Chain A
Amino acid sequence: MAQRAVLERDPLKEDQGPDGITGKRLHLPVMPDGLYRTILAAAAALFCLLIVALVVTLVVQARPAFVHFGLGFLTGTNWDPVHVKYGALPFVIGTLETTAIAMVLAIPVGLGTALVLVHAVHPKLRAPLSTAIELLAAVPSVVYGLWALLVVAPWVRSIIEPDLARTTGGTGPFSGPQLGIGLLLAGLVLFVMVLPTMVAISRDVIASVPKEEVEGAYALGATRWQVLWRVVLPSARVGLLGAVTLSTGRALGETIAVTMVIGNSTAIAHSLFSPAATLSSVIANQFTEATEPFHLSSLIALGVVLLAVAVLVNATARLLVRSVGRRSASSVALA
């Protein structure tokens, strides 16, 4: 790589002065720094403006619901357009639960896959395997939804749910009728959907762990397990937290596939097998026919709540990253 870069720069060499910086080198018309800065600032400002506009629009349109229902909108458990009662709590819980199921599965599987890709697979297989996993990210959400509804749901109903109920005694989160669709299936679909994000980022983070550290550990006689566990993972943990954060963000907001398999019940689920609903699934379901008073503003208010949940999760992750970063820095200092 480095050598090629040098070769590519060679033809310019004639134009370069001894210090490598002369006006002659620039054959293109010179763009004034001021203009350049203005263009960059405009691009950056555009994005900030977009986000501000998004938030302002959401809040303005959701205002009627927030003003009318107050805090009850967040704590209410009843979503009843006929009687103009709107409470978002079941959907907040549904969103967090499906995301939690997905992440509990995606973290070990994604991390394991990334470790295998970087450290345990023949280099010739690495590229095709990586591509295969990245292709999972290119599958449209609707296709995941259909697959889950038509193929996975019957398995979940006839195999996974009865087995779970049998081994756990069928109580608490494993009680109730086994329908196939519901919280558990939604979590499973999300798991598959966030896996590519989780794997791709973890793989890059793990691959960027300094080779010297890994080889050093091997040289000291560490086993592969010890190298992965004691050297690679600790060194990569800040980046890995980033992978988890991004995957969580994807799981929180995923709409269509979840809507197709979660069962869309507006009551709080009492079991993993129960139908439930998420913030985004309710918006997707009810937006088109929201003609009752406060219905539309309540749906937009759900969007605000979803945004708030996503920001909170992101902020928590950032705090975690900062504390983890500090800890690893201090451990280095101690060493």
Chain B
Amino acid sequence: MRRSTIPGSRASRRTIRLVGIASVAMALASVSFASPALAAKKSGAPVDPYVAADAKAPAGTLTGAGSTFDQPLFTKAFYVYNQQNSGVKVNYASIGSGGGIAQFQATTVNFGATDVPMSPADISLAKGGQVLQVPVALGGVSISYNLPGVKGGLKLSPAVLTAIFSGTIKNWNDPKIKKLNPKVKLPAKPIVPVHRADGSGTTYIFTNYLSTVSSAWSKGPGTGKSVSWPGGVAGQGNEGVAGLIQQTPYSIGYVELAYALQNKFTYAAIGNPAGKFVLPSKASVASDAAQKPDVTTVNFSIVNQAGANSYPISGYSWALIYQLQKNLTTGTALVKIIDWTSHAPGQSVASSLDYVPLPANIQALARSTLLQVTGPDGKTILLTK
């Protein structure tokens, strides 16, 4: 997943990403942000012993690379953290999850970030030893559309959504869409499905959902960060897809939720397993995520969960760190900042950016994972003061 609120910056950022692949050592702008967000301070969360313990985090610069979905969160959260624990700076290169995994495997960065956890095969290629994956962000995927004259209220069942993206439902006035939307004026125009051109965690979550609700899709295009789409047009990034939808009448596509919320898009209510049509929102995605407390790095999919208020298309993003931190100073700074980000202070920053705050059990998973990180002396880093 990836997003940006400045369309003009996209392609130039893409160039940066490509260059970044070749060498993450390049000087990306260090974390900076226009308005000092103090959301974390206002949250009034109960005092967290671990976070409280790191009042004096070691100074230094950390480097990270990966998911573009995490970039707005990391930029702002690391800035706020820097203001509160002055000294720790993070250079995060949002070069995409795949690039992040590659840089992390080669140990050229202190941490990686990915929308789809590293597979055992990925992990076997990591040069820095045992890999730990920490959930840091939660998000949903909205189905946005452009129907001239229709301002909202479109409902789509899983079967109809799959049929639209499979190309079996070709026109907006198809009886199957009409049946779900008797009050919406549906034109006799061909549907233009819009999807992502670049490999993307958003695509992974969306195709994971389609594969879950449709055996035909799972046997056909399947689940992946890039799949072979049966039709339609494609744009780069959330902003590329969003731009195509806004420009092309009678189009429909999937856009990462925070991006859709911030840009006030028209999106469809999707039928969930409880038979209810639910609009995507922070609450409905949180409800979906809450249904599956036992998320692991292998069993990480949370699409199509039960619950009357659950929005069925959602997923987590993960930070990658090595279990053994060979440099105690860097390791301590890293563990503390990831812990901070995945818990109350960082997650309230996330919420202010329209990410869905991590549920308590997932925050606990992040904590228990981080407690496994040790320094060169074999001591648990998070417990050291």
Contact = CB atoms under 8 A, between A and B. Distances in A.
A153 B247 contact: yes
A288 B199 contact: yes
Contacts of A263: 233-234
Interface in A149-186: 149-150, 153-154, 157, 177, 179-182
A64 interface: no
Contacts of A125: none
Contact of B228 (A80, A260, A275, A287): A80
A180 B225 contact: no
Given A289-B96, A291-B101, A265 B222 contact: no
Which of A85, A157, A179, A295 has the most chain B CB atoms inside 10 A of its CB? Answer: A179
A177 B7 CA distance: 26
A182 B17 CA distance: 25
A72 B300 CA distance: 35
A21 B98 CA distance: 65
A208 interface: no
Contacts of B234: 263-265, 275, 285
Nearest to B237: A285
B273 interface: no
A259 B197 contact: yes
B46 interface: no
Given A179-B248, A285-B197, A289-B198, A275 B226 contact: no
A93 to B, nearest CB: 17
Interface residues of B, number: 43
A142 B233 contact: no
A213 B200 CA distance: 61
A257 B126 CA distance: 36
Contacts of A180: 247-248
Interface in A36-83: 78-83
Interface in B203-224: 221-224
Contacts of B236: 259-260, 264, 285
Interface string B222-252: 1111111101111110001001100110000
A177 B190 contact: yes
Contacts of B276: none
Nearest to A293: B121
Contacts, number: 118
B70 to A, nearest CB: 14
Interface stretch (B8-16, B172-180, B338-346): B8-16
A154 B122 contact: no
B322 to A, nearest CB: 19
Interface residues of A, number: 41
Interface in A112-156: 142, 145-146, 149-150, 153-154
Contacts of A182: 233
Interface string B70-113: 00000000000000000000000001111101100000000000
Nearest to B228: A80
A109 interface: no
Interface in A256-287: 256, 259-260, 263-267, 275, 277, 281, 284-287
A44 to B, nearest CB: 26
A256 B11 contact: yes
B99 A288 contact: yes
A292 interface: yes
B192 A177 contact: yes
Given A82-B227, A177-B192, A265-B232, A146 B96 contact: no
Contact of A146 (B8, B102, B233, B248): B8
A177 B233 CA distance: 11
B18 interface: yes
B136 interface: no
A105 B339 CA distance: 58
B260 interface: no
Nearest to B7: A146
Interface string A72-115: 00000011111101000000000000000000000000000000
B21 interface: yes
Contacts of A236: none
Which of A145, A157, A263 has the most chain B CB atoms inside 10 A of its CB? Answer: A263
Contacts of A285: 197-199, 234, 236
Interface string B1-33: 000000110011011011001000000000000
A214 interface: no
A231 interface: no
B225 A291 contact: yes
A90 to B, nearest CB: 11
Interface of B: 7-8, 11-12, 14-15, 17-18, 21, 95-99, 101-102, 122, 190, 192, 197-200, 221-229, 231-236, 240, 243-244, 247-248
Sorted nearest first, the 3 A-B pairs with minimum C-beta distance are A289-B199, A288-B96, A264-B197
Interface of A: 78-83, 85, 142, 145-146, 149-150, 153-154, 157, 177, 179-182, 256, 259-260, 263-267, 275, 277, 281, 284-292, 295
Given A82-B221, A256-B14, A289-B198, 6 more contacts: A142-B12, A181-B233, A182-B233, A284-B18, A289-B226, A290-B226
19 contacts: A78-B228, A80-B227, A81-B225, A82-B223, A82-B227, A145-B11, A146-B7, A146-B8, A179-B192, A179-B248, A256-B14, A259-B197, A264-B234, A265-B231, A265-B232, A275-B234, A285-B199, A287-B21, A291-B98
